[in-house]
Structure 1
Amino acid sequence: MKLTVVGGGSTYTPELIDGFARLRDTLPVEELVLVDPAAERLELVGGLARRIFAKQGHPGRITTTQDLDAGVDGADAVLLQLRVGGQAARQQDETWPLECGCVGQETTGAGGLAKALRTVPVVLDIAERVRRTNPDAWIIDFTNPVGIVTRALLQAGHKAVGLCNVAIGFQRKFARLLGVSPADVHLDHVGLNHLTWETGVRLGGPEGEDVLSKLLSEHGEAIAADLRLPRPVLERLGVVPSYYLRYFYAHDEVVRELGTKPSRAAEVAAMEAELLRMYGDPALDEKPELLAKRGGAYYSEAAVDLAAGLLGGGGSPYQVVNTLNRGTLPFLPDDAVIEVQAAVGPKGTTPLPVPAVDPLFAGLMANVTAYEDLALTAALHGGRERVFKALLAHPLVGQYAYAEGLTDRLIAHNREHLAWA
């Protein structure tokens, strides 16, 4: 089995490597190729990756290359984890929206749109080259904004599934609180990427006992603290929202906070510099503890599970993925990309039935789906007016004066990445 990671020079990659090494019985990788245009980073990450495999006794071969076509040739699955523009672009995404009184964040709001506009054309080019070289390969997208990027891939006819680590993070957290194995926790997870709610927490599988009310009753304070939302909000909702919902439920509070502290991008950039320094240590043969603060917790477990399911080697029968709606949520278009539990196998993903969704959540999902449709159109075809309409449709923007100001700033800060600008 050959797997290729595009963006293999990312500081995330040792998390992925550690998972491949530990879970080799689930996903027996014979060859792993790390592809990245940044030669220096690739050398550092590749060296650590080989040492991790060696320490854990993994027999697989790890190679590195800057040549995308060579790297994906013969791959059974290609994982995408790129950041067009790097941390510098992320820093901009998190700051210029604040000038208009809007949330500055890399995956939602105006910053998320900027990332989509930079990313979609690049990912589609990569996917086309994968298809030419190896049309049977699965594409697993971990590149944000996952929902929009996955929709672009599927709309272009690629064999693609989107992956996010929010659900597996909740699964692990709830398992600890309940004192059970993560494998025993099945989430009723519904929404769009980075706009999801846990409407049930079941023990043993999709038909198991729902213990969500018990979790909220006995551990509501701890869950609320992690989400940085008041416990009464969770009790009134009756569900556990993803932490990204705080941008919607406490927008003005978040904007005030973001204006008084260093950006997350600045923190991550400093962390990445230290991680790369550590990766260069020839004595280091395991992922460092600092990596846990970088983000992407449990990404490796989720990626192994999904790749194993798609390639027929095992994995959990039901997994939370980003996939086509196809009538699962009747209030959304069939070609919308939703994030739900699905049966995963070599033929792809099939969403499990979802009970009727409360209008409180369905309305926001429909609004953001409309924005994502406009965002994808802007990413594919460009143009100031398309960018403006996407921003105007986003519930974190919504006012024409904000949309005008954000449009100007978005284009000014991203001109080098926008072929039409």
Structure 2
Amino acid sequence: MKKGLKIVTIGGGSSYTPELVEGFINRHAELPLKELWLVDVELGKEKQAIVGEMAKRMIKAANIDCEVHLTLDRREALKDADFVTTQLRVGQLDARILDERIPLSHGMIGQETNGAGGIFKALRTIPVILDIVEDMKELCPDAWLIDFTNPAGMVTEAVMRYGNWDKVVGLCNIPVNAIVEEAALLERDPEELFFQFAGINHLHWHTVVDNKGKSLTDELLKIMYGDASNSKSIVANIQENDLIFEQVQNLHMVPCPYHRYYYLTDEALKEEIEDFKNSGTRAEKVKGIEKELFELYKDENLDHKPQQLAERGGARYSDAACNIINSIYNDKRMIMTVSTKNNGTITDLPADCVVEVTSMITGNGPVPFQFGSFAPAERGLLQLMKSMELLAVEAAVTGDYGTLLQAFTMNPLITSGFVAKQVMDELLVAHKTYLPQFAEKIKEIEKATTAS
């Protein structure tokens, strides 16, 4: 075993970083972290400096022998790294605001990882992640890439399919939250229960059984959706889980909170538009929360994660990110839900695509639990959305306009036809700084707009 670990966090200036540092501190007996490199870009330099100094205070307060390095030079950081984590946002929150505002202005769902906004986050993010992978091949070829950057499923898909890099795991805190909060609803210890998740990131379903093999799924559905008093979302940016009980009861599986956008599209859109008019988009609210957080982080006496970070929407992030590093490094064989290659786990989807499934995390990476096939209600939506993801990922890599339009046309949260094309064109122009692969097409769109 090595004497110490070198971990690189790209997007180190994120407001989430203190949660990650806390996770490393709590696991230091098993994860002997010697070097933590926080990498960011020029645009994020100020935040990186604030978070970096706080990270140093946290490490010092914990009396851990670990050096924290801040750099804008990614290649310097990556050399000989053991693990690389990504939590970046290309274009920062201003880009997310556009992802939400532009679709909403045309009467469509405006959301960070779903619909038009989710596709455009993928378009901006995937080329950057693939560049990171190329650097890793040269500078740290044995490292694992742990991706927390959304849309995590599509990013992981791109890394495996186009980056030809299998040592990648996509992570999301939603399954972690679900296990803790649903166990509490059942008045059980999470250790007594087995949750099996299957689907794709932000579009999965799960079942739950106790340690004697008894299914508790239908009981949980009744508690969550049959009793209005328990109707509360586990995700900060999604309204209450007020799904139609008869529908979810028929599934005999618990849907991910993001299913609300697909099962109750009209209601979700109505609420988003109302919020948009009254208090701005979710991204604008998050910007306010982040401003408050960074003011806290500036406090030279603050050497621990503040409670306000939970409002940011990343609760239990460190549990997901640090547990998976711990489980790979020490071959702990923890049971976690991750985005990884399907390999026949879900028989309804291609073997070579990425899925989000319950897996055992070994020293060689995730080993998924076999799931099998979905019933028609879940299968139809899952196959549609996975096909849409594959098109969006291809468009992100190739910059092909027609492929992108196909993804837009397929997505159930995007109005079809010429309105979809208009929204797509507006988003392309709005994000042109971060979409070099579409540069020629964007020039055409701008020229046509000026002419008209």
TM-score bin, normalised by smaller chain: over 0.9
Distance 1:51 1:175, change over 3 A: farther
Deviations 1:337-364 (A, max 9, x none): 1000112112222211114312111111
Deviates more, 1:22-31 or 1:300-309: 22-31
Query: 1:254: Cα distance to partner?
Result: 1.3
Which of the residues 2, 5, 11 maps onto 2:6? 2
The answer to whether the Cα contact below 8 Å between 1:224 and 1:231 also exists between their aligned partners in 2 is: no
Paired residue for 1:187? Answer: 195
Distance 1:183 1:23, change over 3 A: farther
Query: 1:329: Cα distance to partner?
Result: 1.4
The answer to whether the Cα contact below 8 Å between 1:27 and 1:313 also exists between their aligned partners in 2 is: no
Amino acid at match of 1:413: A
Q: 2:130 matched to 1:120?
A: no
Query: 1:392: Cα distance to partner?
Result: 0.5
How far, CA to CA, are the matches of 1:319 and 1:36 in structure 2?
28
Distance 1:51 1:180, change over 3 A: farther
Which of the residues 22, 25, 30 maps onto 1:21? 25
Paired residue for 1:359? Answer: 376
How far, CA to CA, are the matches of 2:31 and 2:184 in structure 1?
25
Distance 1:313 1:24, change over 3 A: farther
Deviates more, 1:80-89 or 1:14-23: 14-23
Amino acid at match of 2:313: G
Paired residue for 2:432? Answer: 415
Paired residue for 2:254? Answer: 240
Query: 1:44: Cα distance to partner?
Result: 0.9
Paired residue for 1:399? Answer: 416
Aligned counterparts, 1:251-262, within 5 A: 251-261=265-275, 262=280
Paired residue for 2:57? Answer: 51
Paired residue for 2:178? Answer: 170
SS at match of 1:247: helix
Query: 1:134: Cα distance to partner?
Result: 0.8
The answer to whether the Cα contact below 8 Å between 2:345 and 2:372 also exists between their aligned partners in 1 is: no
How far, CA to CA, are the matches of 1:182 and 1:280 in structure 2?
37
Which of the residues 122, 125, 144 maps onto 1:138? 144
The answer to whether the Cα contact below 8 Å between 1:76 and 1:311 also exists between their aligned partners in 2 is: no
How far, CA to CA, are the matches of 2:248 and 2:261 in structure 1?
15
Deviations 1:68-93 (A, max 9, x none): 11111111110010000000000000
The answer to whether the Cα contact below 8 Å between 2:198 and 2:346 also exists between their aligned partners in 1 is: no
Which of the residues 221, 225, 231 maps onto 2:232? 225
SS at match of 1:273: helix
Amino acid at match of 2:170: G
Which of the residues 72, 83, 89 maps onto 2:89? 83
Which of the residues 364, 369, 373 maps onto 1:347? 364
How far, CA to CA, are the matches of 1:179 and 1:260 in structure 2?
36
Query: 1:99: Cα distance to partner?
Result: 2.5
Paired residue for 1:149? Answer: 155
Which of the residues 379, 382, 398 maps onto 2:396? 379
Deviations 1:16-39 (A, max 9, x none): 111111122343322211111222
Query: 1:180: Cα distance to partner?
Result: 3.6
How far, CA to CA, are the matches of 1:118 and 1:20 in structure 2?
29
Number of aligned residues: 417
SS at match of 1:260: helix
SS at match of 1:2: strand
SS at match of 2:199: strand
Distance 1:298 1:241, change over 3 A: same
Amino acid at match of 2:300: P
Aligned counterparts, 1:84-103, within 5 A: 84-103=90-109
**TM-score w.r.t. length of structure 1:** 0.94
Q: Which runs of 5+ in 2 are unaligned?
A: 234-239, 440-452
SS at match of 1:40: helix
Deviates more, 1:383-392 or 1:290-299: 383-392
SS at match of 2:232: helix
Q: 2:417 matched to 1:370?
A: no
Distance 1:229 1:237, change over 3 A: farther
Which of the residues 64, 68, 75 maps onto 1:69? 75
Distance 1:129 1:51, change over 3 A: same
Q: 2:308 matched to 1:290?
A: yes
Deviates more, 1:226-235 or 1:106-115: 226-235
Q: 2:264 matched to 1:250?
A: yes
Distance 1:393 1:345, change over 3 A: same
**TM-score w.r.t. length of structure 2:** 0.88
The answer to whether the Cα contact below 8 Å between 1:26 and 1:305 also exists between their aligned partners in 2 is: no
Distance 1:60 1:260, change over 3 A: same
Amino acid at match of 2:355: I
Query: 1:202: Cα distance to partner?
Result: 2.5
The answer to whether the Cα contact below 8 Å between 1:33 and 1:64 also exists between their aligned partners in 2 is: yes
The answer to whether the Cα contact below 8 Å between 1:100 and 1:405 also exists between their aligned partners in 2 is: no
The answer to whether the Cα contact below 8 Å between 1:22 and 1:56 also exists between their aligned partners in 2 is: no
Which of the residues 25, 29, 37 maps onto 1:33? 37
Deviations 1:230-284 (A, max 9, x none): 4624334332211111111111111111112121100010111111111010011
User: Root-mean-square deviation (CA), in Å?
Assistant: 1.7
Amino acid at match of 2:293: L
How far, CA to CA, are the matches of 1:371 and 1:185 in structure 2?
33
How far, CA to CA, are the matches of 1:18 and 1:178 in structure 2?
29
Paired residue for 2:208? Answer: 201
